[in-house]
Amino acid sequence: MNARGHAFGRLPGSKHPPNCETVLVVRTFRERAIEMALSVEPTGDLADAWTGPPDGATDSIALVTARNAYGREGREGTIERTVTQNWRVDRQKNVAGGRSNLQVQKNGANRPSTAACLIVSNQYFFQLDGPDTANREAELTRILRHGLNVSLDSWIQTTEAGPRGKRAAVVKVFEVRGEYSSPRPDFVSPQKPVR
């Protein structure tokens, strides 16, 4: 067996002639999970951000779950509205292609009030129910929180030169990619595939 997990030789009980080589690929569960796991990747876009420090925004991110991140959007799309005081996570109007736009925003601030931005395909939410629901729900919750925290950590403030230099800030936009480590074998998308 080589370092990549390939075993070379004749399989026991094989009907192939002895000079025929059969390649058997052996992968551990961890290797398969790494290949298929959800991840967060930068989109290459920047979003205008709130110019004050984003201190305390992680409290709102900690309230995000796979179940409460999908649903209403816009003014009604705030996640756990009654719990947070200074920050909130909102589900903005859907972006093109059936994706959700989750944003951490400063309460009571003028635009821009965003401190983090994460794009999530709605397909991840549609696949939650079914066999292994708890595993997919935990995996998506973990990646949603991670993605919002990574975007929050990318917050950069700039100031124009001069005594009255204008302040501005930006955050990197991130997107959830990959597949669940325990996908639903019976899943059929309720929407047309994104091209």
Residue 9: the pLDDT is 47
The helix (run of H) or strand (run of E) holding residue 101 is strand 99-106
Residue 82: the pLDDT is 59
Number of other CB atoms surrounding residue 109 within 10 Å: 15
User: Who wins on pLDDT, 79 or 152?
Assistant: 152
Residue 27: the pLDDT is 43
pLDDT surpasses 50 at 2: no
pLDDT tens track for 79-106: 666 566 788 888 887 677 788 899 999 8
* 118: its two tokens: 């994460």
User: Who wins on pLDDT, 74 or 186?
Assistant: 186
Cα 74 to the chain's mean position, in Å? 20
Q: How far apart are CA 86 and CA 174, in angstroms?
A: 23
